[in-house]
Structures are given as structure tokens and as C-alpha cells.
């Protein structure tokens, strides 16, 4: 009886608090947008994310999963491990095979690293604390090629390259910080392998069986097995993308062009940009932004870098951006690349959901470091150009 009464005392206040938070959030949204518009916007945004974002990410997972399996099957991963170990170990405290994840996420998007991580032979190179930090490492290069090509298309050439270097600095910060967080909470992960010996033995036996097949069959099996694992990852990320992204969008964007709420997808209350504008002097000091509107880019990049990129042409037409802003946009856009939308789902698919808050904190710091480094590297670049 005493235990039951104690539980009631504990759960009652938390239940009331939870109810108050939910009522405050949706009450605020409903008051600003109107209740029918709020509900329509939430449902339409989630539906559009499912069709145009989740399935897009799933297709990336399928392709990269198949490509990663091919690299595993024919020894490319072992080659990368030997060649890049001297670089990856001291800089990122990760094995050399991790560079494959950087390339694949740079060419596609964040979840590509998870397609690789689900391969036991790839995961066998890692200790658990390193394996968990893959979410931070891979995310820092997500959609990198798309971001750089887009910025070049806006007429900037040196700035995107400087932004890439800034993203690398942010990646080091995020990955190392995440490893530190993991080891502080779970010291035993420093020595535990990411893959059990029994699972690895089964994988090796399967490899030996496959090695006796013809090259054509090996390629076909690798493509289909890797693609199948990509489908599983794509399904696993659905809840995180729909739930997190929808609320990030609704707190970032505003009404339609006429300033009216009509229940369309991707409308919102612009709370995050409003809060950011209150401290825009900090962004000017850290990132060199000359206009407070530019704060919208990093805020939006938290949820979706594609949506953040769509802001740039408007910034350019208004004359708000310069080379420094493009370098910072590239760095922070690439490093964050909508990680609030994918980090939860990625860690959940790896089986370490409880470490999601630590991963988010570490990657938030990494993105800020990336932007600051890009700002100062661009400053040094312009100083060098002026001296010559």
C-alpha cells in the first residue's frame, strides 16, 4: 500500500505538469494560427514530410546500403581502414573505415551512415563509444555536395570551400564531444566491441560461403541485401522525422505570403526566429552576420537544410549576404543538415535512444564551432587576398 501511494504522489504532479505543457504549446499555436489551421498544418506538414522527405531518405538508404555492401564484399573497406587509419585515429578517434561514411553522407544524406553501421563487418572495427558517435560524424557531412553545388550556383566559389573546412572542424568537435559524453555515462563502452563475437563469426561464415559464388551472384546478393537493410533503416526513421521535423517547422516558419493562415503545410508561428532576433548581436559577433534576417538560415537548418537553402536566393536578392555569410551558411548547413529531424531516428535505429539528448547537445556545439571557424577562416582569406 505504501508503494502504491508513493507512486501516486510521484506520477500525479508529473501528469499535471505534462498536461499543462501540452495545453500551453497547442493553446499558443491554436491562438496564433487558429485551431482548424493548426491541425491542418500539422497533418499536411507531416504528410508532405512522409512523401517528400522520408521516402527520399529511404531511397538514399537503399542506394547507399547497396553500395556499402558492395564495398564490404570486395574488400574496399579493409583498404580504406589501412590507408586512412593514420588520419582518422588522431583527428576523430575513429577507425579508418569511417571515411567511407563521410564520403557517402557527403554525396547523399545523414542516414547513409546508418546503412553502413548496420553491416556487422563495418561495425566490427569500432568500440561501442566510437560506434555511437557515428551519428554525429556522419551528420556533419550530410548533403554536403548538394549544399556546395547550390552555393556555387548562387555565384560564390571560394566561400563554399571555406565552409567545407569549417564543417570539418565542427565534425571534430561534435564527434569528440559525443565520445566524451558516452564514456562519462558508460565507461565500459571504451573496451566493449560494437559487435558481439558470435554475430561476427556468423557474418564471416556467410562471407566464406559467398566467396565461393561467382562474381555476378556476389554482386547481385550484395546489392539486394544492402538495399533491403536500407529499407529497414528508412522505416525506422519515420517516427523521428515526422514528429521532430513537424514541430521544428511549425516553430520556424510563418504564415503565407499574404500573412494569412490557411492550414497549408509548412506554416507556423516563427517563434524560433523571433527569439533569435532578440540576441542577433551575438550572431553578428560569432558569425559576422550583417543582417538579423540571416539568423533564419541556421535556425531552419536545424530541421531541414533543404528548407534553409531555399532562403538563400531571397537573401541574395535583398543584398543581405556576402562571401562570409555564404561560408558560414555552408559550414553550419552541412554540419547540422537538419540533425534535429534525423538524430533521434538514427540513434533509435542503432539501439541507443537514451543517448539522443547528449548527441543533440554535442552536435549543436559542433555546428556553432563550424560556423565560427568558417567566419574566421573567411576573414583570414580576405585578409590574404587584400595583402596580395
The yes-or-no verdict on residue 53 having pLDDT over 50 is yes
- Residue written as grid cell 560569432: 286
Which pLDDT value is given to residue 1? 47
Which of 148-157, 195-204, 261-270, 379-388 is predicted with the least confidence, judged by mean pLDDT? 195-204
Q: How much is the average pLDDT of 309-320?
A: 80
- Dihedral of CA atoms 280, 283, 284, 289 in degrees, nearest 10, equals -100
The yes-or-no verdict on residue 50 having pLDDT over 60 is yes
The yes-or-no verdict on residue 8 having pLDDT over 60 is no
Which candidate, 292, 347, 373, 334, places its Cα nearest to that of 114? 347
CA distance 164 to 160: 6
Q: Average pLDDT over the chain, rounded to whole?
A: 83
The yes-or-no verdict on residue 152 having pLDDT over 60 is yes
CB 139 within 8 A of CB 338: no
Decide which of 102 and 93 is more confident. Answer: 93
CA distance 170 to 374: 10
Which pLDDT value is given to residue 223? 85
For the chain, domain boundaries: 34-387
Q: How much is the average pLDDT of 235-249?
A: 74
Which pLDDT value is given to residue 146? 77
Which candidate, 344, 294, 377, 368, places its Cα nearest to that of 140? 368
The yes-or-no verdict on residue 200 having pLDDT over 70 is no
Q: How much is the average pLDDT of 146-152?
A: 83
pLDDT in tens, 327-352: 999 999 899 887 876 777 778 878 88
Q: What is the CA radius of gyration of the chain?
A: 23
In the chain, the percentage of residues whose pLDDT exceeds 70 is 89
Residues near 175 by beta carbon (within 8 Å), at least 6 away in sequence = 92, 93, 94, 133, 136, 137, 140, 362, 366
CA distance 255 to 257: 7
The yes-or-no verdict on residue 52 having pLDDT over 90 is no
pLDDT in tens, 260-289: 999 998 888 888 778 777 777 777 788 988
Decide which of 357 and 71 is more confident. Answer: 357
Q: How much is the average pLDDT of 364-378?
A: 95
Decide which of 339 and 77 is more confident. Answer: 339
Decide which of 151 and 4 is more confident. Answer: 151
Which pLDDT value is given to residue 270? 83
Helix axes 35-49, 238-252, angle to 10 degrees: 130
CB 271 within 8 A of CB 376: no
Indicate the pLDDT class of residue 371, thresholds 50, 70 and 90.
Answer: very high
Amino acid at each position: 500500500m505504501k508503494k502504491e501511494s508513493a507512486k501516486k504522489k510521484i506520477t500525479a504532479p508529473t501528469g499535471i505538469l505534462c498536461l499543462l505543457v501540452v495545453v500551453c504549446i497547442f493553446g499558443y499555436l491554436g491562438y496564433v494560427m487558429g485551431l482548424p489551421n493548426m491541425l491542418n498544418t500539422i497533418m499536411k506538414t507531416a504528410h508532405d514530410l512522409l512523401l517528400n522527405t522520408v521516402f527520399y531518405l529511404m531511397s538514399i538508404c537503399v542506394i547507399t546500403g547497396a553500395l556499402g555492401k558492395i564495398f564490404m564484399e570486395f574488400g574496399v573497406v579493409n583498404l580504406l581502414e589501412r590507408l586512412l587509419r593514420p588520419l582518422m585515429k588522431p583527428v576523430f578517434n575513429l577507425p579508418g573505415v569511417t571515411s567511407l561514411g563521410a564520403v557517402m553522407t557527403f554525396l547523399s544524406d545523414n542516414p547513409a551512415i546508418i546503412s553502413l553501421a548496420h553491416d556487422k563487418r563495418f561495425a566490427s572495427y569500432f568500440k561501442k563509444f566510437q560506434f555511437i558517435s557515428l551519428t554525429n560524424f556522419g551528420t556533419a557531412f550530410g548533403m554536403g555536395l548538394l549544399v556546395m553545388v547550390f552555393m556555387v550556383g548562387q555565384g560564390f566559389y571560394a566561400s563554399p570551400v571555406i565552409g567545407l573546412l569549417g564543417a570539418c572542424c565542427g565534425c571534430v568537435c561534435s564527434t569528440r564531444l559525443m565520445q566524451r559524453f558516452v564514456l562519462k555515462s558508460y565507461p565500459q563502452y571504451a573496451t566493449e566491441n560494437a559487435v558481439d563475437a558470435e554475430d561476427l563469426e556468423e557474418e564471416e561464415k556467410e562471407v566464406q560461403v559467398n566467396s565461393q559464388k561467382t562474381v555476378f551472384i556476389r554482386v547481385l546478393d550484395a546489392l539486394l541485401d544492402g538495399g533491403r537493410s536500407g529499407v529497414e533503416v528508412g522505416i525506422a526513421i519515420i517516427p523521428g522525422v515526422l514528429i521532430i521535423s513537424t514541430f521544428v517547422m511549425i516553430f520556424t516558419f510563418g504564415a503565407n505570403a499574404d500573412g494569412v493562415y490557411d492550414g497549408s503545410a509548412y506554416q507556423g508561428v516563427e517563434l524560433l526566429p523571433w527569439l533569435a532576433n532578440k540576441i542577433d548581436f551575438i550572431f553578428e559577433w560569432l558569425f559576422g552576420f550583417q543582417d538579423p534576417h540571416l539568423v533564419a538560415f541556421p535556425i531552419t537548418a536545424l530541421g531541414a537544410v533543404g528548407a534553409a537553402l531555399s532562403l538563400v536566393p531571397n537573401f541574395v536578392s535583398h543584398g543581405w549576404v556576402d562571401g562570409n555569410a555564404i561560408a558560414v551558411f555552408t559550414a553550419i548547413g552541412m554540419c547540422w543538415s537538419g540533425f534535429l529531424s534525423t538524430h533521434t531516428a538514427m540513434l533509435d535505429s542503432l539501439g541507443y535512444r537514451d543517448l539522443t539528448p547528449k548527441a543533440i547537445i554535442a552536435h549543436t556545439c559542433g555546428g556553432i564551432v563550424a560556423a565560427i571557424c568558417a567566419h574566421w577562416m573567411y576573414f583570414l582569406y580576405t585578409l590574404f587576398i587584400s595583402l596580395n
